[in-house]
Every structure is written in structure tokens, then in C-alpha cells.
Amino acid sequence: MRDRLSASSYAFRLGFTFLTTIFLVAAAVPAAAQDGAGDRPKTIVLGFDGVDADLTARWMDEGELPNLAKLRDQGTFSPLMPTIPSQTPVSWSTFATGLDPGRHGVFDFLRRDPDTYRPQLGLINEGRKPLLWGERNPLMLGIAAGLVLTVLLLLIVRPLGKSGRRRSVALGVTLLLSLGSAVAVSRAVDAWIPDELPTAENPRQGEAFWQLLGDAGIRARVLRLPQNFPPKPFENGQLLTGLGTPDLSLRVGKPFYFTSELFFQAEGGGDFSLEMVELIDNKGEIPTEIKGPPNKLFPGEKLSYLTLPMTLNVLERERKLRIRVGEAGEQVDITLAAGEWSDWEHFEFAYNPLLSMAGIGRFHVLSIEPEVRLYLSPIQFDPHNLPPSFQLSHPHEFAADLTQQHGYYKTMGWAVDTWSLDEGTIDEELFLDDVEKTVTRFEQMLQDQLVLSDWDVLVHYFEFTDRVQHMMFRLFDPEHPRYDEELAAKYGDSVLKAYQRMDAIVGGVMEAVPEARLFVVSDHGFSSWRWSMNYNTWLVKNGYMRLNGQDAERMNLEDLFDQGDFFVNVDWSQTRAYALGFGNIFINLEGRERDGIVPQEEYEALRDEIRYGLLNFVHVETGLNPVAHIFFREEAYESFDRRVMPDMIATNADYYRAGWQDTLGGIATAIVEPNNKRWSGDHCSLYPPLVEGILFSNQRLDLGDGPYMGDIAPTLLSMYGVEASVELDGKSLLR
């Protein structure tokens, strides 16, 4: 199967290699001609997701973070104001460009289409483009094949001489063979070659600071920073994509759980993408399958998926599980005991005899008896075997080069599996084991970069601080509804340990490259998520949204990716406002929304009315107001796309966050609900001053009234004397 893929893409790769060679030769001359490149000061920026300023200051004062405390004493430490809203892709996009979200265009994990009211993933813009001649591929390639065969056969029959009869017979046979070839090729192309290819576009606008530095001859290397998929090419540098890069299922990440336990129910309510497969037996040979990527090359009326057969064999005497994938196990054939991880295994999902999709994943046997329970990580793109036009890095070969140096690593953007723990298919120990394995590989990648001399600016991002807090805050906060005293005794220090791991990474960089200018940055802080605030439910109960039937079924991310129905019970003819995303409220405006009913002259009064009602809403059980502040979009941003930007951005007080159903436009049963999930810490819809990130530097910076995430890009540009091509929203912090 691997040979089929290689054969199908050989011409593409040959052409790509030729063009790449020409580009590198051309680029080598100016790169080599740069004077003084080796004399430039080096700058290292370490990005840690979700590191909270208050927790960091507290643990530095308590002696738990000695390297960060040393860095503070050498230069600068300050809380860092995140963007509005305080979300990872939004804030890191501002970090990259120096622009606020209204200008760079990334304002939430989700966005809505005003023509359909449907939510869409806000990290990428999906589309399609014709392949070659599109629908005419069978005709054109069939004709081409017929003409090529005709020419070849004519060259063969030419030596037959002047015999008219022999020549006529040969020409007739040539015509028949060519016609048959054209028909056969046309049919094969129609069945095996798509008319269109799916495309992805990075919605982030503006120039990243590394693009501007590269244009000025400054060599920049950026590893795993969010909102860089697909990668945008730039001069004099390399980039490995981060958050936004999908797995092979084209999700943020979809792990697998195979179990023989009858009627197993996920604990988390099924909000996330998780493939649960019920096995037909718990002993002997057990047939099943792995659900692979969606078939977007040959879409039908209903979305279908490529699959691979898998057979599990319970080896009772050895107390092991044999796992075979593919026909007769030709792709994977391994045997694992309970508690063991596999190496990275390779999978190929066939579209047809000509085309297939390659991926990598790891198995972990959770148990063999009394029930078989098998975990398979999200299957991810293989850097050595990517589909044509799909890129994990700039330049294209950079991702494969890193694999060659470090071995296989997680290529999807959300690398740590938070979904399985939230759904109860793995436990805290396995979650933290996954964190450890993930961090170790990326830390080694960083350490290897530090000894190289072929960069001037190095940016390296780590996500683990954010993911651990999302999942383990319930064991750090005794007031959380999901607090468990027994688990807290075992894992209650996991948040502190994550911060200490960050401290150790920073210390290693300080020791390895003491002469470098160092910045440590986080995009936002954290709060315990005890209660969910459901804005759509508030709108319904206060008459701003009208339902025409029973509440819809619970929505989840599978509905989002599989194009499920949303807002199915909403009567748009009686609905004046609706919520979607993390606290985003949209007015059902005439001329903008498909079924808009609110005239423009009522727009301002309606926004004022909704804001007043939400700010004065009190959660009876706690006596607190879940809503801290509501931004009108004109207050948050000076410029923005009026068609897509939310009309109001509601931000929550400590201990509250927009509910999961609310983010997808669902209608929950109560306005405020306790958060009984393992996903127990958050920041996404909180008032930004409540969840400030961190800024450290071994340089003494001018903090003014307090630094903002948008100040980092202009600071780095000014260090190298590079000017932005537009006025930035941030300012340089250099004294």
C-alpha cells in the first residue's frame, strides 16, 4: 500500500524537489552574503500556554520556581494582559503580529456563518480547489493516454514497410488499442482520481514578526506556536506548525477507546471527538476496525470514512494482547501487556488502489481482564509521508528533518490528549504519563536547537502548562464540584509540578545559552471553573430567543466536524439575539443574518438592554454575578469585519465560564449549572484582567502601565531595528 502511494505521488515529489532545489540555490547567495550574521545577538522566546501570573508570583515567593525567580531578579517580571477574549489562538495571534483580534481576524475557537447560523472551526478556513481540469479530468486524461499510446504504436508499426495491407491492419489495431486505452484510462480516472482537492487557509491576517525579521535578513526559527497552520512561507527561517494542525481525522484530535465492557457510557457527556468502539467479546480473537480520515476526496451525499480492519487476540496464558491492523496484520502486528505503550505505528487508509492516506499513532493496553480495554492515540500525519500540498512546516522538508533528528513526535496542534480523561476512558495517571512523553520529546527538540548557530531568533512553544490546569484544577481547588480528596492527595500537586517543569526548562535554556536575550511569555492565566454560564438559556428565559419545540439534543464536536444540524428548534422569526462560541452574542440583524429581524435603528438599544440584564443577573446559589464585563465590539477593537465579529463579548467572573453547549449554540436546561467535569480549570470566556499571563526577560523592560500581549512583536522588531509595514497595536517595551 505504501508503494501505491509512492507511485501516485512520484511525479509531484520529483517536481517539488526540483523547484525546491532551484529555490535553495537562489536563496543561498544572499544568505551567504549577509555580513555579520554570526555577530548578531541571539534572542530566545519561550512560550508557555496558560501560565497564570498570580500562581507564578506566589510560587516564586515560596521558593518553588528558583530559575524564574532568578530571571526576575536579573531583569523583568510582570503580569501580561491577554487579548479580548483570553483564548489561546487569539492571544498568540496578537503575540505574532502585534495586532489586536479585530485586525488579525482570529477572535475565537469558533465562528458563525451569518448565512446559515452554523458554527465553524475558527482556526482554519476550509475550501476546495480543482485538481487539474476538475470534472473534465476523465475526458482530458483519457484523450491524453490515447494520444500517447497512438504515438508509441505508430513508432512501432512504422518499420513494417510500404505494404498497404499490413500497414492498414497495423493502423487499425493501433486505433482500436488507443481508443480502448482512452476509455480505460477515462474510467479509471473517474473512479480513482478526484475532481477537487480539499484546501486549508490560515485565517490570521497581518505579518508575523518572524516574517518581518526574515525579510530583513534576521534568521528566525519558530516551533509549534499556535495559529500557524497552514504555514505561511517566509525568508531566512523555518517554522513547525502548532495548534490548528489537525489529526488525520481532520479534528483537533480524536483518540480511540476499544472496550469489551457492555453498554459503556462516557462520563463527560460526549462533548468531544472520541471514537468509542464496543468489542464483541473479551477473549479469543476479536475482530474490529479503526475509523480513519473522512473521505473528502470523493464526497458523496453523506460523509463517509476510510477504515482499516483490526484483529485483537487475547493471549490468556501470556496475559498479553496481540494487535494486528490491516489485512492479515500487514500494517501492524504487535503484542503488548497491560500498561504497555507501543512505539509509533504506521497506518495507511486506502481511498482506492491508487491513493491512500498515511498516519502514525500509538497503542496503550489499559486492561486485558476481566475486560479488554485498548487506547489508541489520535492518528496523526506522518511527516515523512504527507499528502501532496499538505504542509506541517516551512520549508516543507523541515518537519521530516526534525523527525530524522528526534524520531517521531506528535504533529497535531493539540498534542496532549485531554479528551480521553474528560470522558473517563483513561485515568489521571495515564493522562500525566502522556503529558510527560509529549513534553520530553519537545524539550529534547528545544535543547538540540540551542546548540545550533544557524538562527538569530528562536521561538519555542509548550502547551503542557495549559492542558494540566484544564484537567487537574479540580484537585487543586477544594471548592470545585469535582474535588476528590483521595485523588487530590495523589495528584493535587500536578499543577505545581507543571509550573516546576516549566521552571526547569527555563533554567536549562539560561544555562545553555547565557549570552542570549531571553523572554518567557504566556498568553493568559487560569481560574477554577466551578460553574457554567449558559448565555443562550439566559436569552431564551428573558425573551430574546424563541424556541418552537423541545430543546435540541446535546451538541458535540462531532456534530461540528460532521456538519450536523444546529439551532434546530430556534424560531428565527421571533429571535432577536443568540450566543455562539465562548461568550459571543450576536444580534439577529436585518440584512446581515439570513433570517434577521432586528432593524438597524433598534440595534444599539437592544445591545444596551441585553448588557444591563446580564450584568445584573445574580446566581442565586452563590449570590455572585457570573458576568464580569460585557464588551461591545467597538470598545474591544478599533477596526474589525462587521459581518463576522460578534456584536457583544460577554466575559465571566472567577469560577464561571461559558458552558460547552453554549459554545456550540446549544440550549442547556439551566442558566447556571455546576461543572461536574474533569475539565475543571479554564480561561476562555473570563474577563482578561482576571487571567493575566506572564512576561519574564533577562532585559530590563519599560513596562509603563503594564505590558500587553501585543507588545511582544514590536519589542522584538525594535531589538533588531526592523520596522513593521503597518502601525501596530502594541508598543515596544525597550527602555
Lowest mean pLDDT among 95-104, 187-196, 509-518, 695-704: 187-196
| Element housing 673 (H / E) | strand 672-674
Residue 351 in this model has a pLDDT that exceeds 90: yes
Interatomic CA distance for residues 97 and 716, integer angstroms: 11
Average pLDDT over residues 255-268: 88
Task: Report the DSSP beta bridge partners of residue 110.
Answer: 121
> What confidence tens digit (pLDDT) does each residue in 537-575 have?
999 999 999 998 765 566 665 665 665 667 888 999 999
Of the pLDDT bands very low, low, confident and very high (cuts 50, 70, 90), residue 188 is: confident
pLDDT at 16: 34
Average pLDDT over residues 241-270: 89
pLDDT at 735: 77
**Selection from 289, 256, 259 nearest residue 275 by Cα:** 256
pLDDT at 258: 97
> What confidence tens digit (pLDDT) does each residue in 431-458 have?
999 999 999 999 999 999 999 999 999 9
pLDDT at 497: 98
Domain ranges for the chain: 132-193, 530-689
pLDDT at 666: 86
Average pLDDT over residues 405-419: 96
Residue 98 in this model has a pLDDT that exceeds 90: yes
| Element housing 127 (H / E) | strand 125-130
Q: Which residues contact 672 (CB under 8 A, 6 or more apart)?
A: 531, 532, 533, 534, 619, 621, 626, 656
| Element housing 421 (H / E) | helix 419-423
Lowest mean pLDDT among 220-234, 287-301, 410-424, 462-476: 287-301
Cell of 172: 487499425
Average pLDDT over residues 270-295: 91
Cell of 548: 418552537
Of the pLDDT bands very low, low, confident and very high (cuts 50, 70, 90), residue 299 is: confident
Lowest mean pLDDT among 27-41, 165-179, 310-324: 27-41
CA 226, 227, 233, 236: dihedral to nearest 10 degrees?
-30
pLDDT at 554: 63
CA distances (Å), origin 465, targets 60, 137, 447, 500, 601:
16, 49, 19, 10, 47
Residue 15 in this model has a pLDDT that exceeds 70: no
Find out whether 537 and 669 touch, Cβ atoms under 8 Å.
yes
pLDDT at 264: 84
Interatomic CA distance for residues 429 and 490, integer angstroms: 10
Interatomic CA distance for residues 362 and 344, integer angstroms: 5
Find out whether 247 and 254 touch, Cβ atoms under 8 Å.
yes
Question: Mean pLDDT in the chain?
Answer: 90
| Comparison of pLDDT for 160 and 565, the residue scoring more | 565
Average pLDDT over residues 297-320: 92
- Helices 428-450 and 494-512 pack at an angle, to 10 degrees, of 10
pLDDT at 174: 72
Of the pLDDT bands very low, low, confident and very high (cuts 50, 70, 90), residue 26 is: very low
Interatomic CA distance for residues 394 and 402, integer angstroms: 12
Interatomic CA distance for residues 279 and 276, integer angstroms: 10
Chain-centroid distance, C-alpha 428: 23
Of the pLDDT bands very low, low, confident and very high (cuts 50, 70, 90), residue 471 is: very high
Residue 364 in this model has a pLDDT that exceeds 60: yes
Interatomic CA distance for residues 578 and 567, integer angstroms: 10
Of the pLDDT bands very low, low, confident and very high (cuts 50, 70, 90), residue 141 is: confident
Residue 381 in this model has a pLDDT that exceeds 50: yes
Find out whether 693 and 53 touch, Cβ atoms under 8 Å.
yes
Interatomic CA distance for residues 225 and 2, integer angstroms: 31
Is 531 strand, coil or helix?
A: strand
Residue 246 in this model has a pLDDT that exceeds 90: yes
pLDDT at 324: 98
Of the pLDDT bands very low, low, confident and very high (cuts 50, 70, 90), residue 184 is: confident
| Comparison of pLDDT for 628 and 557, the residue scoring more | 628
Average pLDDT over residues 158-184: 72
Residue 159 in this model has a pLDDT that exceeds 70: no
Average pLDDT over residues 156-162: 63
Lowest mean pLDDT among 61-70, 90-99, 134-143, 622-631: 134-143
**Selection from 546, 535, 542 nearest residue 583 by Cα:** 535
**431-447 burial string, b = 16+ CB within 10 Å, else e?**
bbebbeebbeebbebbe
Average pLDDT over residues 302-307: 91
Residue 25 in this model has a pLDDT that exceeds 70: no
pLDDT at 394: 97
Q: Give percent of the chain above pLDDT 90.
A: 75
**Selection from 669, 542, 682, 558 nearest residue 617 by Cα:** 542
CA 563, 567, 571, 576: dihedral to nearest 10 degrees?
-120
Find out whether 446 and 299 touch, Cβ atoms under 8 Å.
no
